[in-house]
Amino acid sequence: MRPCCSSRSSPALLPIWPFPHTNPGRRFARPTTAERTMAPPPPELIDDVAAEIFLRLPPDEPEHLVRASLVCKPWLRVISDPDFLRRYRTFHRTPPLLGYAYRLRIHEEDPEPRLIPTTAVPLTPNPNFRRAIDCNHGRVLLHAYDEDYYYYLIVWDPVTGDRQSVPEPEIDWLIYSAAVFCAVSGCDHLNCHGGPFRVVFIATDERDSKCRGVKACVYSSETGAWSRPVTLGDGCQTYVHHMQDGRNCGYYGRFDIPYVQPRRGAVIGDEIYFTVHKDAAIVKLSQYHLTQG
């Protein structure tokens, strides 16, 4: 005959709960002393105070702003506000140095052209870029090629990562240089990201039998086209002098025409300056005259 089961469990069969909150029967436990004495959470930072703190984050470490914007929606609202971004650029004034570009490979023993970052932000413009030509107003001008070795230009914004392909101009270049710059009149160049730009291309065209020499043209991102190439001539007396010297030298004069040096141009106001090999001459190009064709 089986013994009758007791309504009470044997003490040896009682479950042991190591923590009070793990006991399902203890639904409405009294708060502990530590819970009763715990201080209330601190009040949220007001937007003005948060903005002043974010304003002092170093610009050469932009990951701090990104991480702060992911903490909560109010901080994201503060950091993404156009007024805050304008204050941030004005407060730090000098744009951060994101890296260095090894521009040109002349000798075989020279390293390949590459970009060396100086911050934690990687610089990945294009795996097939051949040469870094210029950097102005927050943009980098690169010379690259595709799978078919078709050469083209790239205007790259290292901050936003935006890349725009620009076809080469209709100049059969031998040696060239180029410059990229902001196309907004009166811009302070503190926030040129995403705005219109122009590219000036200047090159030695030795293959043009009718007009051998230096040609230049300008590309506009607003029209998406190059202007008609212009040839340096009557407007540059130094250039005419060099061309005449080359003609007087007969066959070897073809090597004495003023070659464009593959160096960066200097953008000063509405004018761009390039150097020419012969006697270290400087060629000044006006953006206005180039755009007028």
81 lies in the same domain as 104: no
Query: Can you read off the two tokens belonging to residue 86?
Result: 């304008």
- What is the count of structural domains for the chain? 2
Instruction: Give a yes or no: residue 252 inside a domain.
Output: yes
Collapse the DSSP code of 117 into the 3-class scheme (helix H, G, I; strand E, B; otherwise coil) and give the result: strand
Point out the domain boundary residue: 92, 119, 152: 92
Instruction: Give a yes or no: residue 128 inside a domain.
Output: yes
75 lies in the same domain as 177: no
Could you give the residue ranges of the DSSP H alpha helices within the chain? 33-37, 47-55, 63-69, 73-79, 82-92, 237-248, 287-291
- Angle, helices 82-92 vs 47-55, to 10°: value is 40
117 lies in the same domain as 251: yes
Point out the domain boundary residue: 92, 113, 145: 92
Answer for the pair 213, 171: CB distance below 8 angstroms, yes or no: no
244 lies in the same domain as 147: yes
The pLDDT of residue 201 is 92
165 lies in the same domain as 88: no
Instruction: Give a yes or no: residue 11 inside a domain.
Output: no
Q: Mention every residue, 6+ apart, whose C-beta is less than 8 A from residue 111.
A: 102, 105
Instruction: Give a yes or no: residue 175 inside a domain.
Output: yes
Instruction: Give a yes or no: residue 262 inside a domain.
Output: yes
pLDDT < 70: residue spans in the chain: 1-45, 102-114, 118-129, 190, 206-212, 233-258, 277-293
180 lies in the same domain as 270: yes
Question: 85: closest CA among 181, 135, 159, 156?
Answer: 159
Point out the domain boundary residue: 33, 65, 92: 92
The pLDDT of residue 206 is 67
86 lies in the same domain as 216: no
Residue ranges making up the domain that contains 60: 47-92
Instruction: Give a yes or no: residue 68 inside a domain.
Output: yes
70 lies in the same domain as 127: no
232 lies in the same domain as 187: yes
The pLDDT of residue 163 is 86
Query: Can you read off the two tokens belonging to residue 284?
Result: 């000044």
The pLDDT of residue 128 is 66
The pLDDT of residue 16 is 46
Instruction: Give a yes or no: residue 220 inside a domain.
Output: yes
The pLDDT of residue 226 is 93
Instruction: Give a yes or no: residue 38 inside a domain.
Output: no
Q: Tally Cβ neighbours within 10 Å of residue 47.
A: 14
The residues with which 216 forms a beta bridge, in sequence order, are 202, 230
